[in-house]
Amino acid sequence: MKRNLAILAALLILMLPMSVRADSNSATQSQSGLENYGEIDQFGVLNSALQQQTGQYNNALITQGDPNVLSGVSNIAQQTQIGDSNMATIQQFSVPLNPALGNLAVQSQSGIANSAFAVQLGDGNVASQGQVGAVHDAQIWQGAKPEFSAILPSYLNVANQYQEGDTHYALIVQVGDGNQAYQAQYGSGNWAEIWQDPAYYNYANQFQSGSGNVAQIYQTEGISNSAVQQQYGNVNAAMIDQTAGIGNVANQYQDNSAVDPAVAVGNIANILQFNGLSNIAAQTQIGDANIALIDQSGITVASSANQASQVQLGVNNQAMIDQTDGVGNIANQYQDNSAVAGAVGNVATILQTGAQGSVASQTQLGDMNSAMINQTFTLGDVAYQYQSGTANIAVVNQDLVFTQGDFASQQQFGTGNYAEIDQLGWFNAAYQYQDGLANAAYTTQNGNANFASQTQIGSGNVAVIVQQ
């Protein structure tokens, strides 16, 4: 009888979660099969936990530190799952304001439809997730529990996610300052998100290779944050939201040049920095049928001083920069489709309506391009346009009675080009230069003390100046 009770007690102990309530301990669990459940609880410091599961529908959980008193520091948790429909969760609760004693969480999964969750409260933590296969879900929460059920701003954390295959979802949420987030996805139909708002001095980096991918970074209402996105492939979409921020930097790069131009649909890049100050936005797109958008509009303080730059190499691309109602902004666009003879042209647009002391510059190389700068209702703005090729169109609007002290310059080299400058206001100046055949230059100035200059070299050109 006593022997049977002893056996029963031993079995009950094996069925309970593995719990360690001390320091510098190590715990290891290994399971294979279906619908297994493994749990390790460690309350203390300098502990390590390792879980390995092979099979399907398994569940692994590691908890290090007390969520009520945030007692666990310098702990290490590792989970490996091979198979399908598995779930791995790591929870680490460390002492805040001590980044030198952060925890480490590492999760690895291969198969189909697996889920990995890492939750870290405290400072100086590192979380890494790797998934290979298809339809995986990876989430890292630092400074907050999932769905924001609990929030503790955490600082100087690092999150890293790697996914290989198709139709994955990756999410990093970091509440606090000085955090870093990295995501890399190789495959198609993937989705990546990083949330770091509102916060200061954070860095976010996303890399995607494949088609039909989506990358999003949120750093709204922050100061001195940086965001970088890189996408290789076709039909991808990238978005960086740094709305209402100060001194933020956003950089996007997209390349679909390896795709056959006959079937290229193009990528979309979008940077939101409206209602912000002293922000920098840069976009580069290589390939065809792409769209680039930068919004730095909507602020009328003494100096918004935003900078925007767009580069597109290919055909049938569209670029737009919106800096309306700003002060001291700089916008620059460069498009080149000269490598393809008779290609579908690119379109470049800069909006600086209501702006003051802003500068707009556009350069287009190749044929059948269109460039437009709108600086209506402005004061002291400058516009530059340069085109080299055939059948290009350049237009500068500096109209309406509130436009004062503006300057516009246009240069065109090639055949069959058209240049137009409209100015209605005071103290304006216009300069047009064309070198080629069958070009047309048109200048209209209405107001006081205006100056206009037109130079044409070649044959069959038309020049018109109207000043009232």
Going by DSSP bridges, is the β-strand pair 169-174/249-255 parallel, antiparallel, or unpaired?
Answer: unpaired
- The total of other beta-carbon atoms located within 10 Å of residue 10's CB is 10
**Among the three residues 165, 181, 197, which one is the final residue of a domain in this structure?**
181
Q: Domain boundary residue among 146, 181, 216?
A: 181
Asked if residue 43 belongs to a domain, the reply is yes
Residue 461 and residue 336 in one domain: yes
73 within some domain:
yes
Residue of 252, 368, 234 whose CA lies nearest to 310? 252
Domain count, the chain: 2
Q: Is residue 229 part of a domain?
A: no
Same domain, 311 and 174: no
Same domain, residue pair 43 and 167: yes
User: 254 is written with which tokens?
Assistant: 């997209």
Q: Find residue 239's DSSP bridge partners.
A: 216, 270
Contact between residue 256 and residue 266 where contact means Cβ atoms under 8 Å apart: yes
**Does some domain include residue 205?**
no
Query: Using an 8 Å Cβ cutoff, are 311 and 284 in contact?
Result: yes
pLDDT, one tens digit for every residue, the chain (468 residues)? 433 434 333 333 333 344 445 678 899 999 999 999 999 999 888 999 999 999 999 999 999 988 777 677 889 999 999 999 999 999 998 877 677 778 999 999 999 999 999 999 989 999 999 999 999 999 999 998 887 777 888 899 999 999 999 999 999 999 999 999 999 999 999 999 999 988 899 999 999 999 999 999 999 999 999 999 999 999 999 999 999 999 999 999 999 988 877 777 899 999 999 998 899 999 999 999 999 999 999 876 656 789 999 999 999 999 999 998 888 889 999 999 988 876 789 999 999 887 778 899 999 999 999 999 998 777 778 999 999 999 999 999 876 545 456 789 999 999 999 999 887 767 778 899 999 999 999 888 777 777 888 999 998 898 888 877
Which residue, chain included where needed, has tokens 């390590």? 48
Residue 271 domain-assigned? no
Domain end point (choices 148, 165, 181): 181
Domain of 354, in residue numbers: 296-468
Q: Look at residue 417 and tell me if it is in a domain.
A: yes
pTM of the full structure: 0.92
